[in-house]
Structure 1
Amino acid sequence: MSTQRPWLANYPAGVPAEIDLHEYASVVAVLESACDRFRQRPAFCNMGKTLSYDDVDRLSRQFAAFLTGDLGLKRGDRVALMMPNVLQYPIAIFGVLRAGLTVVNTNPMYTPRELKHQLNDSGAAALVVLDNFAATASEVLGETSCRHVITTGLGDMLGFPKSLITNLVVKHVKKLVPAFNIPGAIRFNDALARGARQNFVRAELGHGDIAFLQYTGGTTGVAKGAMLTHGNLVANMQQASSWIGVNAKMGEEIIITALPLYHIFALTANGLVFMKFGGLNYLITNPRDMPAFVKEINQVPFTAITGVNTLFNGLLNTPGFDQINFSTLHLALGGGMAVQRPVAERWKKVTGVTLVEAYGLTETSPAACMNPLDLPEYNGSIGMPISSTEVSIQDDNRNQLPVGDIGELCVRGPQVMKGYWNRPEETAQVLGDDGWLHTGDVARMDEKGYVYIVDRKKDMILVSGFNVYPNEVEDVVAAHPGVLEVAAIGVPDEKSGEAVKIFVVRKDPNLTAEDLRAHCKANLTGYKQPRFVEFRDSLPKSNVGKIIRRELRDAPKGAVKA
């Protein structure tokens, strides 16, 4: 199937139609290049401690040597990492990759059941886990094939005496480390010391080698491991770099990394792209503590920040955020879920910088579409296909639809995954022999090549035969000044098949269902208006703050009819 490429005529100045896939043979080659070029510059900062590119080079070599020399891991073996954003994370990631092994990023908030599934599904031979979450691991390790465990404390990389004090406070004062017993576990700093005594043997890697098993689908079903190759990650890093390179300055960027590095968005957009630019990743370990988050970044002359809608909304609603000096900020990138217009407009008003929406999937490493960075204001679009990427809007029979028609968004390009780990049937359902990845998102494209997400196929609500897209309802409700957060779902209805129900977290404690009903009546046609309203103190969210509608559908109780 051929596609027209109307977006190419509308690319920002300096952005190429195709990227150079062969500049780097692997993710490791990107790291090596950055370390050679920016050796004395800061690479990662967390809890008051900064690692230079030279530090990351040296420590990741030591960790790689430990994995292959001490543990005897062989090329292609999988190593699971279960940590939030701490300095150990980039050392471990690059150490695993430099050893020719595959990273299995693991959400530290997993339940024992979820962790057991991921360790067994991936066949992970080793696990690196923060002490705070080691109790979960200790429950299931005996039921997995994982042979080696490396444990680490929150303060381990902070240097004496701060490391000791931090670990004591975390464990004994804040009591954030539940008791655990993992026989034979090795401490992270001991692993580095042992690796320093080993001979580091550089693994020769190519585009076809699997760099990450990135698990996805946990909010919709059984989590599957997307096989992301070194070629996939290098491609997406090159694509994103060509897009932001017009504004980014080599060796001068400071990006706030609040989304976890175990999530593909931060992993690529922050960890890899800004590494190529010799930038500093300022790691936020617990972004949910918004007052502390705002206090911390108030001290940092940051130039870029990535996040999801709920993160930006949370910052905007935290006292003191509007007092930050945003004079150095030039890039605010939103993804992972739809950026809502009221949030984007308020962000621009407070920071002076447009909140640019991008679109991606775990299966596309992740970026597929992005808005121009010089966008004057929020436009409701996820942008245009990035360099070396094709997008097609297709019907249920996989026929390409004309411009403006609504259908399934399909993506083809060098960043599209190899497939799902050990799941050929599920791979075949979404990835055709023609290279098109079927995203499950409903979208349309305009004549300039801008793509607009209408909604997830499975989240669409059918009211009396009419399609209602939750994103549209949520955008309208979110615009009410009394609303902090909102999610819309469909609930069974005898008359119309389904009816719209909204879950609302109030900003104004006096907000009523009647207020919202009147607001929606003024802004939505009849069948789109919420029939039911439920007020909640919070909404269920994924590890990166994406609202999980499925959990709301599973518990449709306590509704107030609007």
Structure 2
Amino acid sequence: MSLNMAMLLTESVRNNATRNAILFDAFKMSYAELHGASNKIANILTGMGLEQGQKVALLLPNIPQFLVCYYGILKAGGVVVPLNVLFKTNEVAYHLEDSESIALFVWESFLGEALPGFRQAETCHKLIVVNAPGNTAKPEGNDIYSFNELMASASPSFDIVQTNSDDTAIILYTSGTTGKPKGAELSHFNIFMNVRSITHELGITWSNEDVGLAALPLFHSFGQTCVMNSIISVGGTLSLMPRFDPVKAFEIIERDRVTIFSGVPTMYFYLLNHPDRKKHDLTSLRMCSSGGAAIPVEILNYWKREFNFDILEGYGLSETSPVASFNVTFKEPKAGSVGIPIWGVEMAIMNEKGEKLPPEEIGEIAIRGHNVMKGYYRKPEATAECIRGNGWFYTGDIGKVDKDGYFFIVDRVKDMIIRGGFNVYPREIEELLYSHPAVAECAVVGVPDVVHGEEIKAVVVLKDNASASEDELREYCRERIAAYKYPRYIEVRREQLPKNATGKILKRELRTLD
């Protein structure tokens, strides 16, 4: 069965050609203009030799060019590999090589980290620099191109490549048990069904009158599926925000009459507690959702009191496209619950033997259905480790289900830290700390944080006769990994870390800020 995810755009163009697809402060782009611009990208890439199924990476913030490139790659039959804009050089290089991306679109401000990362990646042969309008500056090199120059001469007509529904459309990177990020392969059908579930199954009718605020990063599965693709699929308008700021969010909501907002709990915390909130008219909002991490019940209750409607909390992972469950409007939401499975998706609580547990018993959450990824790209062993027993994806999250079918997250099997909606795997940071000449041993854990949900804490034991301050170690990490990953809290000890009889560090004894 043929299906290309870019049809979310091409179908919306039919009835919404002159309507605004994108707002970016004073800039406006209609559906017809977005369609034509993404066709240009498809022509540019095929002209460069892109073959169906080849990967193209994006290192772009929430700007109109993200959508232009995203849908253009899909139209050309390519696979989109969105990269975190906070990546450092070695992280850029790793993701380009691991995904086998042959080209990279990069925003001009990110060249400091991206250019050397591109040079290190043997698989990537084209670097396309996305400049602000009117600018064509780029580094020297026959393999480096100006986005604006290419667009100026490209044709706005393109015959979309027919891909199969189970072909890979997107590779989203997520951390795993090895500490190295793994690429979750999501098919065109995975994403299409997830979008349809969001826009048709939650009890709220989405339409081309809706305006969605893209405050979540579009490289992240939450922002990409639940905001960008969902709004485009109904012919609505997407108002872009490159970096979340509560005051700017208030201004955009009021100015553009935003109706739909999706965010991580941190965003709601800032919005509700900002002293300027009541200076702005936010009455256009009619649907808000939260994901990425558990949202405190007090925030849910506070929001309901202030705005007279519920924040709908959902649950999912990059490996599940991402949505697996959601609270819905036609059933009373349960505070602290991540809701019920979306249409066509099963969720269960499993014991260690892979047997389903009854209501209220605690076990590992497993998911199967149209939303589960094809697997981790080029990592069959890692795929087999988490997808097993008749197609069940084992999430690594501990939870329970009540008698009404509502799921609750209790804890995580893995040591994954979720900071502000971003996954952080401790081992990656531990390996970095171990590379410091003064560090003898270390452990990284998540500690509760009212703003970010969890904050990163590193407990370090120094080598005999070695010295390193907490500030020095923090700066060492900050310079080498993305900003959301480095530990804000560092505790330096002289004695050994607590361990069990087998020598394993007892991390549970370190999860405190005392």
C-alpha deviation, 1:278, in angstroms? 1.2
Q: Which amino acid counterpart does residue 399 of structure 1 have in structure 2?
A: E
CA contact (8 A) 2:128 2:144 kept: yes
Deviations 1:485-543 (A, max 9, x none): 66478999xxxxxxxxxxxxxxxxxxxxxxxxxxxxxxxxxxxxxxxxxxx9xxx9xx9
CA contact (8 A) 1:308 1:544 kept: no
C-alpha deviation, 1:180, in angstroms? 5.5
1:319 equivalenced with 2:288 (yes/no): no
1:364 equivalenced with 2:320 (yes/no): yes
Superposition pairs of residues 445-464 of structure 1, within 5 angstroms = 445-459=401-415
* Counterpart selection for 2:130 from 133, 152, 159: 152
1:133 equivalenced with 2:92 (yes/no): no
Structure 1 counterpart of 2:214: 257
Q: Which amino acid counterpart does residue 435 of structure 1 have in structure 2?
A: G
Superposition pairs of residues 343-358 of structure 1, within 5 angstroms = 343-358=299-314
Q: Which amino acid counterpart does residue 397 of structure 2 have in structure 1?
A: D
Find the aligned partners of 2:286 and 2:23 in 1 and give their Cα distance: 20
Distance 1:284 1:491, change over 3 A: closer
Structure 2 counterpart of 1:113: 90
Superposition pairs of residues 84-483 of structure 1, within 5 angstroms = 84-144=61-121, 145-153=123-131, 155-156=132-133, 183-196=142-155, 200-217=158-175, 221-244=179-202, 246-287=203-244, 289-373=245-329, 379-432=335-388, 434-459=390-415, 474=448, 478=450
* Counterpart selection for 1:34 from 12, 15, 20: 12
Distance 1:36 1:544, change over 3 A: farther
Distance 1:191 1:118, change over 3 A: same
Superposition pairs of residues 484-499 of structure 1, within 5 angstroms = 487=454
Find the aligned partners of 2:414 and 2:456 in 1 and give their Cα distance: 10
Q: Which amino acid counterpart does residue 401 of structure 2 have in structure 1?
A: M
C-alpha deviation, 1:265, in angstroms? 0.6
C-alpha deviation, 1:439, in angstroms? 0.2
C-alpha deviation, 1:328, in angstroms? 2.1
CA contact (8 A) 1:253 1:303 kept: yes
C-alpha deviation, 1:433, in angstroms? 5.2
SS of the aligned residue for 2:61 comes to coil
- Across the aligned residues of Structure 1 and Structure 2, the Cα RMSD in angstroms comes to 3.1
Distance 1:72 1:381, change over 3 A: same
CA contact (8 A) 1:99 1:203 kept: yes
CA contact (8 A) 2:56 2:101 kept: yes
Q: Which amino acid counterpart does residue 96 of structure 2 have in structure 1?
A: L
CA contact (8 A) 1:291 1:319 kept: no
Find the aligned partners of 2:400 and 2:147 in 1 and give their Cα distance: 49
Find the aligned partners of 1:387 and 1:428 in 2 and give their Cα distance: 25
Deviations 1:130-171 (A, max 9, x none): 001012121122221211111112x32xxxxxx56xx9xxx9
Find the aligned partners of 1:26 and 1:282 in 2 and give their Cα distance: 24
CA contact (8 A) 2:88 2:482 kept: no
CA contact (8 A) 1:334 1:356 kept: yes
* Counterpart selection for 2:31 from 53, 57, 76: 53
Structure 2 counterpart of 1:525: none
More displaced stretch, 50-59 vs 407-416: 50-59
C-alpha deviation, 1:440, in angstroms? 0.3
C-alpha deviation, 1:292, in angstroms? 3.0
C-alpha deviation, 1:322, in angstroms? 2.9
C-alpha deviation, 1:294, in angstroms? 2.8
C-alpha deviation, 1:275, in angstroms? 1.5
C-alpha deviation, 1:454, in angstroms? 0.3
SS of the aligned residue for 1:125 comes to strand
* Counterpart selection for 1:43 from 9, 14, 21: 21
TM-score, normalisation: structure 1: 0.74
Distance 1:414 1:180, change over 3 A: same
CA contact (8 A) 1:38 1:53 kept: yes
Deviations 1:338-393 (A, max 9, x none): 11112222222333331110001000000000001356666110000010000110
Q: Which amino acid counterpart does residue 212 of structure 2 have in structure 1?
A: I
CA contact (8 A) 2:326 2:338 kept: yes
Distance 1:327 1:489, change over 3 A: closer
Distance 1:181 1:344, change over 3 A: farther
Find the aligned partners of 1:410 and 1:48 in 2 and give their Cα distance: 45
Find the aligned partners of 1:544 and 1:86 in 2 and give their Cα distance: 20
Structure 2: segments with no counterpart, 5+ residues: 418-444, 460-473, 494-509
SS of the aligned residue for 1:51 comes to strand
Deviations 1:99-135 (A, max 9, x none): 0000000111101111110000011110000001012
Find the aligned partners of 1:460 and 1:151 in 2 and give their Cα distance: 34
Distance 1:488 1:74, change over 3 A: closer
CA contact (8 A) 2:212 2:236 kept: yes
Structure 2 counterpart of 1:526: none
SS of the aligned residue for 1:88 comes to helix
Find the aligned partners of 2:297 and 2:513 in 1 and give their Cα distance: 26
Structure 1: segments with no counterpart, 5+ residues: 1-21, 157-162, 172-178, 462-469, 479-483, 493-535
Q: Which amino acid counterpart does residue 194 of structure 2 have in structure 1?
A: N
The 4+ residue runs of structure 1 with deviation greater than 6 A are 488-492, 558-561
C-alpha deviation, 1:68, in angstroms? 0.1
Deviations 1:392-451 (A, max 9, x none): 100111111111100000000011100000000000000115110000000000111000
Superposition pairs of residues 513-552 of structure 1, within 5 angstroms = 551=487
CA contact (8 A) 2:93 2:120 kept: yes
Distance 1:444 1:48, change over 3 A: same
TM-score, normalisation: structure 2: 0.80
Q: Which amino acid counterpart does residue 119 of structure 2 have in structure 1?
A: G
